[in-house]
Structure 1
Amino acid sequence: MGPGVAGRGHVVFAAVAVLTMGAVPPSPAASSPGPGPGTVVGTLRPVAPPPGNAGPLGRGTAVQGRLLAAADGVETARASRPVAPGVRLTSYDRLESGKRLRLDMLSVDLGAGAARADHLSSGRVSERRKVSDLASRHDPGPGRRTVAAVNADFFDIRETGAPQGPGIKEGQLVNSPAAGANQAVGIGPGTAGRLLRLFFEGSVTLPGGPRALDAYNAANVPPGGIGAYTAGWGTADRALTVDRATPVAEAAVRGGRVVSVTERPGSGAIADGTTVLVGREAGAAELAALRPGDPVTLEYRTRTDSGTLPRTAVGGRELLVVDGEAQVHEGRGNNTAAPRTAVGFSRDGSMMQLMTVDGRQAASAGATLTKLGLLMKEAGAYNALNLDGGGSSTLVALAPGSDRLRVENSPSDGRERAVPNGIALTAPDGSGRLKGFWVEPRMRADTAPAVGPLRGGRPERVFPGLSRRLTAAGHDETYGPANGAPHWRTVRPTVGRVDSHGVFTARSTGTTEVRAERGSVGGGTHLTVLHPLVGIQATTRRVVLANAMASGTFGIVGLDAHSASAPVEPQDVSLEYDRSLFSVTDDGQGSFTVKSLTGSGAGRITARTRGVSTTLDVSVGLRERPAAGFGDATSWTLVALREARLGYGHPRRTHVYRTRPVLLYP
């Protein structure tokens, strides 16, 4: 029991220190008009989640009841766009019983022949990189480009970094699976995909005769076995593959002859043309008996549980959908709500679904395996497999008219995790001739300023008198980049107008399409002009900069009298602050970046637009300041308060307070 914890009727008090962080006094109420407590905006409440499926279950319906509960929920938002011919990205939000989910899914038409799925890696089994890096470096083949990718196999995260399941690239074995990790997803040798099990079989012939070869560039050598490692393994320490077993031995073979034998597996790169044999226990004894010059030959192959060997394969783990039936994982391992990645196929294997579910975030709690199976079945999968999830879950894709892959989901680590492999999607190069424009707000919906626990705002909305910056990316027939300057126009000028730079200025409430055109080609997006602005809020009430090198961000969100919200463009906001203390600049994505100029101090930023304002505090540096020593402990009262919910998904607990209110200032 630590200090400050009460137990067995005794109360222990400890001195309290407050990190004041250069704090400023609480902000006074804004003098400009805004939504007050008595207005519609002031009484805005979060939407409560729908009730769970609590209907009575008859005898023999326990499994059905669990599936119904897992399937409970409503879709609250959806966006879809093309990535390449035969590849489409759909992103959507769901409101479940007691939680929210954010999903991204690539639908891939393998049967049409344009889109193709490849094994994705750096070319070194044990080398880990971010999915975006792997995809940007992937060789798609002549006349093709990489258009999207997801992470794939579970891997030896704490030691070698190598995948646990099998890997096949262009029909050639990349690595063998760990014991029991045979489940895989395969594509080809034609265009169709399927789920299957892959097995490794091999033999090594030593001077004393043949014996089993148990692993090939694998994360682990099984007990008593021998594994083969080539230049394709990478630089990971091969001593990690034997699980601290003794004895161990390593023999290097080149040109069919032993060139060296050591008592400990080595590390570092293996030369091209050299195969290193690593043995443990009985396998180590056989390798230790070798001498330089001894002949050694290897033979190995990969076989499937059914059908021909696929052109491409990566490992996975739990089956989510089998022959059209979502699988129930209740009571089994790995079934907690978590970030997920999954792959599925239609009944004939011609359509592939690649899905990520965000998790461990306010905007998305994550999915259980049972839930993931239901989502994959709903998405059209007749068979589906769980891939590595958690912080590994990553989906990247091109936007129309762009040649830069971008992360579409929200990795739970706050950034991409380095992984050993994935699934890459490629498509044919286009002509480069302009065939259309992809028009959208400069702000991405998933990162636009918003108030509340959910990620992303509503940049397709704007207030009268304010603006929205739009972009128009020219694309060819494959949605690849194409040059061409657009001419802008609005379909309903009474709702708003757009200038030659794509800046839309709203005039009156309504909806209009804004189009970018050049000759006979064009594209457009719809914008909704809300009711007049009555108040604004900052996305945070305080920006805290730890030191002079740190930076912080905030955005401005507006509200109308009906509580409808929309992000406000930085160009429409005037800022008042002490310019000798810090700088505030437009970050180019719809928000502001704050940087310290002095390395310490505190101040306040006032943001104004259209006659309304809001404030936020900025502090730089951390300073510890004692607030109370509890010397007068007898005058303090220990009170346990019940949980008070300030908003959906934001519980706050207060454990100790003083009966006399105290307001602290620096």
Structure 2
Amino acid sequence: MTGRGARLLAVVLTCGVLASPIPAAAQDGEVVIAPGVSYRPFQLSTAHGPVLGHVVTVDLAEPSAKLGLLHPGSVAAKDEIADQTNAAGAVAGVNGDFFNISEEHAGVVPTSSSVGPEIARGRALKGAVPDGQRFGPALPAGTSNEDVFAVGIDGRARLSRLSVAGAAVWPGGSADIEGLNQYALPVDGIGAYTDDWGEVSRARAVCGTDTDRSAPCSTATEEVVITDGIVQSEADPPGAGPIPDDTVVLVGREAGDAALEALDPGDPVSVRTGLRPDDGMPLSFAVGATPILREGSPLTGLDTAELAPRTAAGISDDGRLVHLVVVDGRSPISTGLNLAETAGLLADLGATDGVNLDGGGSTTMAVKTPDTPSATVRNVPSDGQQRPVANGIGVFTR
């Protein structure tokens, strides 16, 4: 056993996590599915029972191997991962971020929009909702809904953090924009909605608060429709329907409502929006994700109780090697893992940084091998079938 493996084994035994790291025998069945991309199933023996999993490893040093965002064509939509993978022409895909899967507010339809930011091919699609509006488990200390798993324009995978940066400017006034195509806006904030959002109602954006997802919807709201830089209409409740590509819709709540009340049809308005990385590195791809491993060590306070299907991604120290992992759970043949175990598994694979993605019934991996015409699901989703999800991570080759 390598020194790294021995250190991990000591850690996980102390924590009561994995009974053994991934055994050498698990290399059996490895398939090279494209230059720099391989897939293999594995099995673990743990103190709480057997665990079955799958891993796709991507070497980003191979020029033809790329990672990118899988999504259903609009932010407020969902689809099965196998369909998203095949539609995008990817050779593999796993599900991504948690999303607006249910709704506590009467008369408000879930948007299916993801919790965190999205960037596809360098284009900012959406920002992160306030932390208190999250769907999914509680965030570990020091993390945020703005955290992402990403690839920079330097071609290296990384963990980053993205905040919305934008403004609306008109003669005699201006306002900051704090949201971009989000299912929830910060209290007192203004959000911008573009054709990337889709047709779903924007009413959910003004419900809840920064700390309470189920708090009542705000009644102090204003929506302004701007086409080619000119205000076309205004209304109190947020609307629905497709947004043309020459149009941006601003939605404000509380203080944001008051700011937008100054605008009237015919007024010229310049709107700028984007996502700002905290480390300054522009990103070609990003998906919302929760850090659980940093610099080779699991974050403190990770849950050690709940066993569930998991989807995770790990990154090597140089950002060149990425492991996309799913483990099945909630069945006699695969118990699943807790979050601390998931972080340990990523470390055992050689990752120094890693993230947790949406799990449970969302956990899905689809892979296309050289002898299959399309990507097919390799794990056993715990719902008994694929769950349509908001986005995913795709593996692409040129």
The two structures have a TM-score, normalised by structure 1, of: 0.52
Output the CA distance in 1 between the equivalents of 2:354 and 2:22: 22
Shift of 1:283: 1.2
SS of residue matched to 2:31: strand
SS of residue matched to 1:329: coil
Residue in structure 2 matched with residue 123 of structure 1 by the alignment:
73
Shift of 1:67: 4.5
Output the CA distance in 2 between the equivalents of 1:236 and 1:335: 37
Output the CA distance in 2 between the equivalents of 1:65 and 1:321: 14
Residue in structure 2 matched with residue 107 of structure 1 by the alignment:
57
Shift of 1:168: 0.9
Output the CA distance in 1 between the equivalents of 2:220 and 2:243: 22
Pairing 1:300–2:268 present: no
Within the candidate set 336, 341, 351, 1:381 is matched to: 351
CA 1:226 to 1:74, structure 2 compared with 1: closer, same or farther past 3 Å? closer
Output the CA distance in 2 between the equivalents of 1:268 and 1:92: 45
Shift of 1:378: 0.7
| Letter of the 2:19 counterpart | D
Output the CA distance in 1 between the equivalents of 2:359 and 2:228: 41
CA 1:250 to 1:69, structure 2 compared with 1: closer, same or farther past 3 Å? same
Residue in structure 1 matched with residue 19 of structure 2 by the alignment:
72
Output the CA distance in 2 between the equivalents of 1:335 and 1:67: 15
Shift of 1:306: 1.3
Greater helix proportion: 2
CA 1:380 to 1:421, structure 2 compared with 1: closer, same or farther past 3 Å? same
Provide Cα deviations, 1:343-387, integer angstroms capped at 9, x if missing partner. Answer: 111110110000001111111111111000111111111111111
Provide Cα deviations, 1:78-123, integer angstroms capped at 9, x if missing partner. Answer: 3321211111111012221131111100011111112110111122
Contact 1:262 1:288 in 2 (8 A): no
Pairing 1:152–2:96 present: yes
Pairing 1:249–2:207 present: no
Provide Cα deviations, 1:303-355, integer angstroms capped at 9, x if missing partner. Answer: 222141111111101x222112233435x5x9511111111111101100000
Residue in structure 1 matched with residue 243 of structure 2 by the alignment:
270
Output the CA distance in 1 between the equivalents of 2:397 and 2:242: 33
Output the CA distance in 1 between the equivalents of 2:317 and 2:243: 43
SS of residue matched to 1:70: coil
Residue in structure 2 matched with residue 217 of structure 1 by the alignment:
181
Output the CA distance in 1 between the equivalents of 2:340 and 2:284: 30
Provide Cα deviations, 1:481-522, integer angstroms capped at 9, x if missing partner. Answer: xxxxxxxxxxxxxxxxxxxxxxxxxxxxxxxxxxxxxxxxxx
CA 1:264 to 1:293, structure 2 compared with 1: closer, same or farther past 3 Å? same
SS of residue matched to 1:396: strand
Output the CA distance in 1 between the equivalents of 2:292 and 2:71: 25
| Letter of the 1:320 counterpart | I
Shift of 1:427: 1.2
Pairing 1:405–2:375 present: yes
Output the CA distance in 1 between the equivalents of 2:13 and 2:237: 52
| Letter of the 1:125 counterpart | V
Within the candidate set 184, 188, 198, 2:152 is matched to: 188
Contact 1:101 1:359 in 2 (8 A): yes
Provide Cα deviations, 1:103-152, integer angstroms capped at 9, x if missing partner. Answer: 100011111112110111122001100011111111xxxxxx42101111
* Structure 2 unpaired stretches of 5+: 1-9, 103-109, 131-143, 208-216
CA 1:399 to 1:65, structure 2 compared with 1: closer, same or farther past 3 Å? closer
Shift of 1:280: 1.0
Residue in structure 2 matched with residue 321 of structure 1 by the alignment:
293
Residue in structure 1 matched with residue 125 of structure 2 by the alignment:
174
| Letter of the 1:277 counterpart | L
Provide Cα deviations, 1:446-495, integer angstroms capped at 9, x if missing partner. Answer: xxxxxxxxxxxxxxxxxxxxxxxxxxxxxxxxxxxxxxxxxxxxxxxxxx
Output the CA distance in 1 between the equivalents of 2:347 and 2:272: 41
Pairing 1:239–2:203 present: yes
Output the CA distance in 2 between the equivalents of 1:335 and 1:178: 27
Output the CA distance in 1 between the equivalents of 2:253 and 2:305: 35
Contact 1:67 1:328 in 2 (8 A): no
More contact order relative to length (CA 8 Å, sep ≥ 6): 2
Pairing 1:355-504 to 2, within 5 Å after superposition: 355-428=325-398
Residue in structure 2 matched with residue 545 of structure 1 by the alignment:
none
Output the CA distance in 2 between the equivalents of 1:340 and 1:289: 48
Output the CA distance in 2 between the equivalents of 1:224 and 1:343: 35
Shift of 1:289: 3.5
SS of residue matched to 2:370: coil
Residue in structure 2 matched with residue 200 of structure 1 by the alignment:
164
SS of residue matched to 1:191: coil
Greater strand proportion: 1
Pairing 1:134-145 to 2, within 5 Å after superposition: 134-138=84-88, 145=89
CA 1:65 to 1:164, structure 2 compared with 1: closer, same or farther past 3 Å? closer
CA 1:405 to 1:205, structure 2 compared with 1: closer, same or farther past 3 Å? same
SS of residue matched to 1:227: strand
Contact 1:165 1:316 in 2 (8 A): yes
Shift of 1:68: 4.2
Output the CA distance in 1 between the equivalents of 2:271 and 2:305: 41
Output the CA distance in 1 between the equivalents of 2:305 and 2:205: 28
CA 1:396 to 1:74, structure 2 compared with 1: closer, same or farther past 3 Å? same
Contact 2:184 2:205 in 1 (8 A): yes
SS of residue matched to 1:116: strand
SS of residue matched to 2:116: coil
Contact 2:194 2:248 in 1 (8 A): yes
Output the CA distance in 2 between the equivalents of 1:342 and 1:65: 18
Output the CA distance in 2 between the equivalents of 1:97 and 1:335: 12
Pairing 1:309–2:260 present: no
Within the candidate set 31, 37, 46, 1:81 is matched to: 31
| Bigger-Rg structure (1/2) | 1
Q: Post-superposition, which runs of at least 4 consecutive aligned residues in structure 1 deviate over 4 A?
A: 63-68, 74-77
SS of residue matched to 1:344: strand
Contact 1:230 1:275 in 2 (8 A): yes
Output the CA distance in 1 between the equivalents of 2:305 and 2:236: 42
Pairing 1:93–2:5 present: no
SS of residue matched to 2:30: strand
The two structures have a TM-score, normalised by structure 2, of: 0.85
Provide Cα deviations, 1:254-294, integer angstroms capped at 9, x if missing partner. Answer: 01110011111111211221111111112122323421101
